[in-house]
Chain A
Amino acid sequence: MTKAYIIGTSCISPQNSIDSEWFFDTITPSNGDCFNAIEPSYKEHIAPNLLRRMGRAIKMGVTTANLAIIEAQVKKVDAIITGTGLGCFEDSERFLLALLDNDEQFLTPTAFIQSTHNTVGSQIALIMKCHDYNYTYVHRGFSFESAIQDALMLFEEGKETILIGGIEEHTPNYITLNRRAHKLQEHDFALPIWESKTSGIQLSEGAAFFVLNKEKTENSLASVDGIQTLYKPKTAADVLTKMHAFLKLHDLTLADIDVTLMGFSGDKNFDLKLNEMLPIIQKESIAACYKHVSGEYHTASAFAMWTATKLIEKQKLPKVLSISEKTPYVIKHLLIVNQYLDINYSFTLLSQC
């Protein structure tokens, strides 16, 4: 499968990633068991008549999409593909509570309309007047991965420029329910995230968009060489075997991977396989992680891809991300190994261009 070039990107996350100058220098800590996204002033990015009705997921998505397009200096795209595990949860919850509280009476449709999972993708299409291909993937830790896979196929089918993104939002109630279900960390990590001895994730949110181009341009930041998802692997050995096969498909071995960005979530059970893989990866590559700064969400891998793009662009691995405590001489190839709830695994290969 042909590779694609990232020519523009933007990211809203619990860190100051929306500021294009920010490069992991200042780190905003979690709230213990969750992170909130640092959101910009949306007025500069979205028309007031639209802004009024938008939930946070839509605002985050539309803004980062817009900024990615500005960076890419393109006027139009040939496809818009989004990934979101939960969709517009805030609007879903608003409509649900209204109908439960009022026994299905006195309802207005706005929240229902905006609750549809493809709202972000369709709002972008509306704003850009884009009549082309428009898909929304909603599969847990494969939501953003499916968007990448689809884009790579579309390039082979003749598309030139594609906008892809991952969007997730949480609400106070959603955090409360996850807390009550004992899915979250009780306190901030006492140990580095990959050494966590406790169960629970730090629930988070954010949006990251990318403009991908079929051809390399002057402003190409990195290339996306390939993606593969792995559903419910049984053992760490399974993941490793698939990882090696994936690299081989791209004529690479682990030794060619300058940085391996791993999706340690801080939940000791979900991270078991990655823990088992870590020494093997460290032998030939430099291991790094990111969820201690992004938190965990269905589309955290979009934050990982944004991070990977920055690392390649700057040719630098910030200390705060490094597991290996080694500095790469160059970052030519970077592999993201993500896991979500120990169910959804994925490999994404990016390269310097």
Chain B
Amino acid sequence: MISAIGNNVPESFLSLSQSKTGIGKINHLTTRFKDEFLTGEVRLSNQDLADLVKDNNPDLNRNSFLAMLAAKEAVLNSGIDTSDGLRTGVISSTTVAGMSQTELYYKEMFVKEDHLNVLDAHDCGDSTERIADYLGNVDYVTTISTACSSAANAVMLGCRMIKHGLLDRAVVGGVDALSKFTFNGFNTLMILDKEWCKPFDENRKGLNLGEGAAFLVIEGENALNKRLGKPLAEVVGYANANDAYHQTASSPEGYGATLAIQQALAMSGLTPSQIDYINMHGTGTPNNDLSESMATLAVFGNQVPKFSSTKAFTGHTLAASASIEAVISVLSLQNSMIFPNLNFTTPIANLNLVPVTKLINSPINTVLSNSFGFGGNCSSLIFKKA
């Protein structure tokens, strides 16, 4: 995992356990709003990233670099060997794809020849194929783009393909580099907070954009047992549903979110009271947090589990957010910790929902992680301690 809170999992864990946000002033993104907004940028420059990937290929863009680094870390940590003859898939997701590079050279491409290759990396499939080639011996590749729930859907697809016997294991996750395109898109929607975002706070004003990538290696039992591997966690439930309410806004009652959570719970066989912690989507926008709160109340009633949004650490990393939060969920399970919802002071009026605001050390056996996106796309994942 790579994001504003660290270039790898140990660094990210350190930031999380020290309640240290990665959101700050804009350093790398070229925008006229540089001094006006805060974002969760990966601290490394493109050249730093190229050095880490050990590849100065001019066709590589920030999206590919982030994806390759995070996927490689996941594979190294997992101990799998992609050349052992088992079927490995790479299922990635992105929304911005090569746009961070396209927007720099788009005009120039019509008059000069120098940067026409930027076109080749513009589409969403590019970073996924870069990951596959970087890892080597990959049998299956695909890419999902369902806005901010993308990576959750990648996790889901990986699990399903293994269950159906189509793959033995899958490297699943998502990536989104910051771009002027997405930054301005969210700014015109007027859902960016100029201060640190305050998920689930009565006075929340919007989100902080972030960037990053995170991948998980999901393995079927047979493949895992064959190499005597040890799982970090088990995916016991997942579901995707659609709010079908509005292209960008969530329904006030959180209908799609409620469906996703209920269906994931049903699949896991767990009762609502058996969920120890919810890693919320919690972007910090008035609309999302209200809608998600209503869905949470609809499913859990007056016994809402401990919950927090970790987006005040990383910013909203869009397509990567669900996999970054999946890694954070696994860290919670492994370390018996709930990472706090930073910047919270006042509960939303009449809801009485108070997130975890200080690091909690207590055994966690199950985590529900929510991700919702434009187009009403709602996904929930449930992880269980292995």
Where the two chains meet, the residues of A that have a C-beta atom closer than 8 Å to any C-beta of B are 1, 80, 85-87, 92, 95-97, 99-100, 103-105, 107-109, 112-119, 121-123, 125-126, 128-140, 142-143, 146, 149-150, 153, 156-157, 173, 176-178, 180-181, 229, 231-232, 298, 343
Tell me whether A116 and B375 are in contact (CB under 8 A).
yes
Closest to A156 in B: B164
Q: Does B134 reach chain A (CB closer than 8 Å)?
A: no
Tell me whether B164 and A1 are in contact (CB under 8 A).
yes
9 closest Cβ contacts across the A-B interface?
A122-B375, A112-B185, A117-B145, A140-B125, A138-B124, A139-B143, A109-B188, A139-B125, A181-B116
Tell me whether B144 and A136 are in contact (CB under 8 A).
yes
Tell me whether A99 and B180 are in contact (CB under 8 A).
yes
| Contact flag A229-B377 (CB < 8 Å), given A96-B103, A104-B33, A181-B119 | no
CA distance A48 to B106 in the complex (A): 33
Give 20 A-B contacts (CB < 8 Å), ordered by A residue: A95-B184, A96-B99, A100-B103, A104-B32, A112-B184, A116-B95, A117-B145, A117-B147, A118-B373, A122-B374, A126-B244, A137-B144, A139-B125, A139-B143, A140-B129, A142-B125, A150-B157, A153-B164, A177-B119, A181-B116
Q: Which residues of the partner chain A approach B95 to less than 8 Å between Cβ atoms?
A: 116-117
Tell me whether B188 and A231 are in contact (CB under 8 A).
no
Closest to B149 in A: A118
Tell me whether B241 and A133 are in contact (CB under 8 A).
yes
Tell me whether A126 and B125 are in contact (CB under 8 A).
no
Q: Which residues of the partner chain A approach B139 to less than 8 Å between Cβ atoms?
A: 231
Which residues of B from 104 to 126 have beta carbons under 8 Å from A?
Answer: 106-107, 109-110, 113, 116-117, 119-120, 123-125
CA distance A81 to B160 in the complex (A): 15
Q: Does B217 reach chain A (CB closer than 8 Å)?
A: no
| Contact flag A134-B125 (CB < 8 Å), given A117-B95, A180-B116 | no
For A138, A143, A173, A176, the residue with the greatest tally of chain B CB atoms inside 10 Å of its CB is: A138
Tell me whether B374 and A116 are in contact (CB under 8 A).
yes
Which residues of B from 125 to 147 have beta carbons under 8 Å from A?
Answer: 125, 128-129, 132-133, 138-147
Q: Does B376 reach chain A (CB closer than 8 Å)?
A: yes
Tell me whether B103 and A118 are in contact (CB under 8 A).
no
CA distance A140 to B147 in the complex (A): 18
Tell me whether A138 and B144 are in contact (CB under 8 A).
yes
Tell me whether A142 and B255 are in contact (CB under 8 A).
no
Q: A86-B123, A107-B184, A135-B144 are in contact. List 6 more A-B contacts (CB 8 A).
A: A100-B107, A112-B185, A117-B95, A130-B244, A138-B97, A231-B141
